[in-house]
Amino acid sequence: MPQEVDRPDYGTLFSDSGHPSGARLPLGGFLQPRVEAEVAFVLDRDVTTAVDAGSVAAHVRAVLPALEIVDSRIEDWDITFVDTVADNASFGAAVLGPARPLDDLDLTAVRMTMTRDGAEVSTGRGSDCLGSPLAALAWLAGTAIDLGDPLRAGEVVLSGALGPVVAARAGDVFRAVVTGVGDVEVTFAGGGAA
């Protein structure tokens, strides 16, 4: 029976793993792809001192809707926390929607709806992500400081799933709408890696 990962973890977003909304990604470029909708941030300045969910907002240049393509090299997703850390937090790719200023947007209250081929497959709220996507960002910032590698201006941070993850198949079109933040879409094409 598949295991559960019961605490936050993190990985690295590589420059070649980010794609704009509307991207067509080859399904064969992944092993066991699943999709989750998230709120992403672009940092405006380095985070070198302790922050919380309220104060970390001052470090945010923009907020944007995102689809994370999670992928695992562990058969049947039978993973533990150690497995996901070793697997770069099961990260496969990120699809990013248009950026907007954070302003006074209450990310705790945002609602997310994700569809696959027009049918609703996942829903959630900002509060489903460690209480708030900003709380998740503050957790990561603190962890990065503790490890001596603080988050830096210009970096993109995915905050974590707002709802259940959904398996991807060839031909699937996923679209997520996050109220107040925006929408983002990806299509999975058949065939091998690009």
Residues 63-80 have a mean pLDDT of: 81
- The distance of Cα 183 from the centroid of its chain, to the nearest Å, equals 14
Q: Which two tokens stand for residue 136?
A: 């998740």
Pick the most confident of 2-16, 65-79, 82-96, 134-148.
Answer: 134-148
Percentage of the chain with pLDDT > 70?
85
Q: Which sequence spans correspond to the domains of the chain?
A: 15-192
Q: Write down the CATH number for the domain with range 15-192.
A: 3.90.850.10
Name the residue among 158, 175, 167, 168 with its Cα closest to residue 190.
Answer: 168
Alpha helices in the chain (DSSP H): 81-86, 133-146
Q: What is the pLDDT of residue 134?
A: 97
Residues 170-187 have a mean pLDDT of: 97
Q: Which two tokens stand for residue 78?
A: 């039978």
What is the distance between the alpha carbons of residues 179 and 190, in angstroms, rounded to a whole number?
31
User: 3-class SS at 60?
Assistant: strand
pLDDT tens digit string along 131-169? 999 999 999 999 999 989 999 999 999 999 999 999 999
Query: Are the C-beta atoms of residues 10 and 158 closer than 8 Å to each other?
Result: no
Would you say residue 86 has pLDDT above 60? no
Q: How confident is the model at residue 1 (pLDDT cuts 50, 70, 90)?
A: very low
Per-residue buried b or exposed e for 156-178, using 16+ beta carbons within 10 Å of the residue's own CB: bbbbbbbbebbebeeebebbbbb
Query: Are the C-beta atoms of residues 27 and 169 closer than 8 Å to each other?
Result: yes
Q: Is the pTM of this model over 0.85?
A: yes
